[in-house]
Amino acid sequence: WVFLWEKGYQETDSVVSSVTTKVKGVTLTNTSTLGARIWDVADYVIPPQEENTVFVMTNVILTLNQRQGRCPELPDDKTECKVKNNCVPGYVSTHSNGIQTGECVPYNNSIKTCEVFAWCPVEDDYHIPKPAFLQEAENFTILVKNNILYPKFNFSKRNILPTVNSTYLKNCIYDSQTDPFCPIFRLGKIVEAAGQNFQEMAVEGGVMALQINWDCNLDRAASHCVPKYSFRRLDNKDSAHTVSPGYNFRFAKYYKDSNGTESRTLAKAYGIRFDIIVFGKAGKFDVIPTMINIGSGLALFGVATVLCDIVVLYCMKKKYYYREKKYKYVEDYEL
């Protein structure tokens, strides 16, 4: 077990890794608010580069042309009002879009809310777009470039193997059966391989893990040290955990017109964050662990004799018979 299965004759080392990513894909949306619009990498990968992580926006709530000023707050049990006295000047809560001015103003024909000094109009995120705004994101691809090093053995390699040429790299898509070493992954297949539905996940977002395993036996040729990919969902999709599901955040793009008036477009972005997790262990023959394990094995032979004696002399049915054969009782000469 120790020598053959656990390779007790080898010295081991843990992997040191670096990861870079590149996403590709273009999609078209056509809505009454935005009209026909092309979305490319610069629009939906936010930020452009992260460490071992890439976020792809799949759904969004846009609030266009916001300017700082006075406007009605979104209606809820704390902001709805009937008279001015219901609103407190300077009041702000955790979920406020701005600071209350103390006025009670119409939100629509039937509801009045407290006026706030904020970026107006305030964002309305009560209704998340379904289906997801960027449905075609499942056809986007991500190129993962991974370099690994085992410093103890001065062994380095990358997941774009020496056998891969530029022609193959431009056309391949990872498949566990046909293309297990292609470093380009279709987003829909990553989610599917983890047992999830991409279009469902795209609505409110989530977190996926793309795992790269580098377990290598360096007593063999370097060509046998290859990456193994696996996928899983990291955030909780359990129906019992329905409060604040998915993954989202806000960002804004700011503008100034010729008069110096500042405005912004606020985006609440929902999407999937792909975490690239690299792990692995390498082993190579070394005299020291070999001798240590041989010594441990020899020591166990001595322990085995003691254990066998205990079992035979105290646990077996014929223990008295064995005890008579093992020990010879003699009378004391003095007596």
> d(Cα 78, Cα 86) in Å, to the nearest integer?
9
Q: Is 268 annotated as a binding residue?
A: yes
| pLDDT for 239 | 56
| pLDDT for 187 | 97
| pLDDT for 54 | 96
CATH dotted code for 10-73+122-284: 2.60.490.10
| pLDDT for 245 | 85
| pLDDT for 221 | 92
Q: Is 21 annotated as a binding residue?
A: no
pLDDT in tens, 264-297: 999 999 999 999 999 999 999 888 888 887 888 8
Contact 268, 250 (CB under 8 A): yes
Contact 151, 17 (CB under 8 A): no
> d(Cα 188, Cα 169) in Å, to the nearest integer?
19
pLDDT in tens, 185-202: 999 999 999 999 999 999
Higher pLDDT, 316 or 121: 121
CA 333 to the chain's CA centroid: 80
Contact 118, 186 (CB under 8 A): no
| pLDDT for 11 | 87
Residue 278, φ and ψ in degrees, nearest 5: -110, 130
Beta bridge partners of 122: none
CA nearest to 232, candidates 259, 268, 201: 201
| Res 114 pLDDT > 60 | yes
Kindly report the CA angle at 35 between 251 and 138, in degrees rounded to 5? 65
| pLDDT for 19 | 95
Q: Is 285 annotated as a binding residue?
A: no
Q: Is 178 annotated as a binding residue?
A: no
pLDDT in tens, 66-96: 999 999 999 988 899 988 888 999 999 888 9
Contact 279, 83 (CB under 8 A): no
pLDDT in tens, 224-260: 999 999 999 999 776 566 677 889 999 999 999 888 8
| pLDDT for 335 | 60
| Res 320 pLDDT > 70 | yes
The structural domains of the chain, with segments of one domain joined by +, span 10-73+122-284, 290-326
> d(Cα 228, Cα 159) in Å, to the nearest integer?
9
Contact 198, 139 (CB under 8 A): no
Q: Is 141 annotated as a binding residue?
A: yes
Contact 29, 135 (CB under 8 A): no
The single-letter code of the amino acid at 269 is: A
Pull the structure tokens for residue 167. 């022609």
Q: Is 152 annotated as a binding residue?
A: no
Q: Is 248 annotated as a binding residue?
A: yes
Q: Is 250 annotated as a binding residue?
A: yes
pLDDT in tens, 91-110: 998 889 999 999 999 999 88
pLDDT in tens, 7-56: 777 888 999 999 999 999 999 999 888 889 999 999 999 999 888 999 99
> d(Cα 264, Cα 262) in Å, to the nearest integer?
7
| pLDDT for 38 | 94
| pLDDT for 241 | 62
- Please state, rounded to an integer, the average pLDDT across all residues of the chain: 90
What's the residue count for the chain?
335
